[in-house]
Amino acid sequence: MIDVDGYRLNVGIVLLNARGQVFWARRVRRDGWQFPQGGMNSDETPDEAMYRELEEETGLHAGQVEVLGSTHGWLRYRLPPRYVRRGQRPTCIGQKQVWFLLRMLDGDAAFRLDAHATPEFDVWRWVDFWYPAEHVVDFKREVYRRALRYFAPLVEAACSVQVGATPGFCVRP
């Protein structure tokens, strides 16, 4: 779904493990790594789209995660001109996203990157919380930074309840 300004409505997912690391995955047949994300259908709420994308891209279901928060309003990024498909109507110039912070409740064996007929990712790993903000493709970088800054206090609070955790354990600037 593309809005009147040319932005595709989308959701992004930051998936956290018990150690405060985030899920980071490589796109199939590409060098690019990113968080799970995907477009919203016209009949979906952001929450519904998030759970659908979570299942399609990671194989995880609602009962295997806990929602810790979401961004208020949309975070936008523009596509570089080389990625804008001028022949399509309406023309998509970028994405506007609601981001969700989820905590993984199951073990790593729960991931199924092949859960969907057309997998989005072929490899994944856990990385430090701020790592994606410096390693995602450059045109998404500021949106990633904004989402992670928004979620940092929530992550710190979630990690502080871990047995033996000390302040700063999960989120290091």
pTM, two decimals, is 0.90
pLDDT digit of tens for each residue in the chain (173 aa)?
899 998 999 999 999 998 889 999 999 988 899 999 999 999 999 999 999 999 999 999 999 999 999 999 899 999 998 888 877 778 888 999 999 999 999 999 999 999 888 999 999 999 999 999 999 999 999 999 999 999 999 998 877 655 444 444 465 54
C-alpha to C-alpha distance for 37 and 16, rounded to whole angstroms: 15
- pLDDT for the residue 169: 47
Instruction: State the Cα–Cα distance between residues 162 and 18, nearest whole angstrom.
Output: 8
| Domains in the chain with CATH codes | 7-160 (3.90.79.10)
- Locate all alpha helices (DSSP H) within the chain, ordered by sequence: 46-58, 131-135, 141-160
Which residue from 168, 169, 146, 137 is spatially nearest to 14, judged by alpha carbons? 146
> Residue 170's Cα: distance from chain center in Å?
18
pLDDT of residue 173: 46
Contact predicate 113/25, CB 8 Å: yes
The predicted structure's pLDDT at residue 166: 46
The residue assigned the tokens 């928060």 is 69
